[in-house]
């Protein structure tokens, strides 16, 4: 490990924000400066690089931000090769590269989820820019790391919400369907569902059988339970929807839609696209099937707000300082991941473009089944 190094790095935060971004910025910057590397903050993700909006970082600027949610640099979902300018989508990769060179950067440090990993690799491959990434997302779906930062904090928020829903659900003898983020991965819903003791947990990786869920809820009612909590991931699909999903994906691709659409069988063409929140539809149908009053809570962006948990603060500080060490060694074009107890560099090529969803034989799935949680797939 070098005692001193040289050069300049840029740092940006891209994609959806989450608790822990400021903690990582602080740790990368402090460790890099410790080794003698200059640090430049880039505003609003890749858009700030394209538009050359930067801020030199020093110890004072990264001090006192460990516990702050969000990102003081700002974030965006913009990608240099597909930037929206004046209502048009244009490729501004050349501008990003020009600014990277103008700032005399040795490496661009990118804090982001799957989209960011892909964009960073693309910039490296297309322009020769050096990049180093860190795995950020509440969805926990980045490959080559045991966990992403932000996940634990979001899981704590969703768990607390489920705890609170228990008391109101039991007072009114209701089913409460709680929608949890996670994009197409079920980690957040499964983790919070188990931790909060949800009675039913539905995740995208296990297409659900509506009637099996209803049967479980009625069984609970017959057993004298005064409530049921159904935790659902935003990306869930029913068994029927899973069958038509491939066709719907093809259709949304052909239409050039950026939003994720939910395929529903039953229209004249066999596929009907709807955008109603998944929890509302589910609650309505469960109320019809069980005769029990149902309500919906969609946690939404509350899950991305506020201060990081102690676990995330520690993880972020470890991720960031490891990145600082690797930058001092001029070890680039990697992501820092957690493998077991160690923060390690992994080739970015092994990460970009791969979504880590919940394997159906994952220990958390077995855990849920052993405490009799319904995952929507058994014959009840
Ligand atoms: O990737 C993080 C995430 O919060 C997902 O769980 C969710 O699907 C998405 O971002 C929401 O994105 P936005 O903040 O752009 O609405």
d(CA 200, CA 229): 7
Taking each helix axis from N to C end, the angle separating 310-328 and 21-34, rounded to the nearest 10 degrees, works out to 30
Are 97 and 35 within 8 A, CB to CB? no
Atom 15, ligand 1: which residue's CA is nearest? Answer: 16
Atom 12, ligand 1: which residue's CA is nearest? Answer: 16
Using the mean position of ligand 1's atoms as its centre, give its distance from the Cα of residue 60 in Å.
Answer: 31
d(CA 265, CA 148): 35
Hey, what are 357's tokens?
């969803």
pLDDT given for residue 244 in this prediction: 85
Atom 6, ligand 1: which residue's CA is nearest? Answer: 182
Hey, what are 3's tokens?
């005692």
Q: What is the 3-state secondary structure (H, E, C) of 8-20?
A: EEEEEECCCCCCC
Using the mean position of ligand 1's atoms as its centre, give its distance from the Cα of residue 183 in Å.
Answer: 7
Hey, what are 150's tokens?
């932000």
Hey, what are 255's tokens?
């239409």
199 noted as active-site residue: no
How many helical (H) and strand (E) elements, i.e. helices and strands, does the chain have? 11, 15
- For ligand 1, whether the C-beta of 181 sits within 6 Å is yes
Using the mean position of ligand 1's atoms as its centre, give its distance from the Cα of residue 301 in Å.
Answer: 8
pLDDT given for residue 277 in this prediction: 79
Hey, what are 70's tokens?
């969000």
State the catalytic residue, choosing from 17, 139, 152, 184. 139
- pTM higher than the cut 0.85: yes
3-state secondary structure of 201: strand
- Could you tell me which of 108, 112, 110 has the C-alpha nearest to residue 127? 108
- For ligand 1, whether the C-beta of 137 sits within 6 Å is yes
- For ligand 1, whether the C-beta of 113 sits within 6 Å is yes
Nearest atom within ligand 1 for CA of residue 181 = 6
d(CA 165, CA 139): 22
Q: What is the pLDDT along the chain (380 residues), one digit of tens a residue?
A: 678 989 999 999 999 999 999 999 999 999 999 999 999 999 999 999 999 999 999 999 999 999 999 999 999 999 999 999 999 999 999 999 999 999 999 999 999 999 999 999 999 999 999 999 999 999 999 999 999 999 999 999 999 999 999 999 999 999 999 999 999 999 999 999 999 999 999 999 999 999 999 999 999 999 999 999 999 999 999 999 999 876 767 777 777 654 444 444 344 444 444 457 799 999 999 999 999 999 999 999 999 999 999 999 999 999 999 999 999 999 999 999 999 999 999 999 999 999 999 999 999 999 999 999 999 997 66
């Amino acid at each position: 490990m070098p005692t001193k190094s040289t050069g300049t790095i840029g740092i940006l935060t891209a994609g959806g924000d989450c608790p822990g971004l400021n903690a990582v910025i602080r740790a990368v910057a402090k460790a890099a400066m410790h080794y003698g590397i200059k640090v430049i903050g880039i505003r609003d993700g890749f858009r700030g690089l394209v538009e050359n909006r930067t801020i030199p970082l020093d110890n004072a600027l990264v001090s006192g931000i460990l516990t702050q949610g969000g990102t003081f640099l700002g974030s965006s979902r913009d990608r240099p090769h597909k930037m929206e300018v004046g209502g048009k989508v244009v490729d501004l990769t050349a501008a990003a590269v020009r600014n990277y060179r103008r700032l005399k950067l040795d490496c661009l440090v990118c804090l982001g989820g799957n989209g960011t990993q892909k964009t960073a690799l693309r910039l490296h491959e297309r322009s020769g820019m050096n990049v180093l990434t860190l795995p950020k997302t509440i969805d926990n779906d980045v490959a080559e790391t045991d966990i992403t930062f932000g996940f634990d904090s979001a899981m704590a928020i969703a768990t607390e919400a489920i705890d609170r829903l228990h008391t109101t659900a039991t007072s009114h003898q209701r089913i409460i369907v709680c929608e949890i983020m996670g994009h197409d991965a079920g980690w957040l819903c499964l983790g919070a569902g188990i931790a909060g003791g949800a009675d039913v947990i539905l995740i995208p990786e296990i297409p659900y059988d509506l009637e099996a869920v209803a049967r479980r809820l009625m069984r609970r009612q017959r057993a004298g339970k005064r409530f049921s909590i159904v935790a659902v991931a935003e990306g869930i699909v029913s068994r029927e929807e899973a069958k038509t999903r491939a066709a719907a994906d093809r259709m949304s691709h052909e239409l050039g839609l950026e939003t994720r659409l939910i395929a529903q069988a039953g229209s004249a063409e066999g596929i009907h696209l709807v955008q109603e929140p998944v929890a509302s539809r589910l609650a309505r149908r469960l109320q019809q099937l069980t005769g029990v009053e149902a309500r919906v809570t969609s946690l939404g962006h509350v899950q991305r707000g506020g201060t990081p948990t102690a676990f995330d603060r520690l993880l972020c500080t470890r991720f960031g300082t490891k990145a600082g060490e690797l930058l001092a060694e001029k070890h680039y074009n990697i992501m820092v991941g957690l493998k077991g107890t160690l923060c390690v560099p992994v080739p970015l090529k092994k990460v970009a473009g791969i979504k880590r969803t919940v394997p159906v034989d994952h220990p958390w799935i077995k855990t849920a089944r052993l405490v009799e949680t319904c995952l929507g797939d058994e014959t009840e």
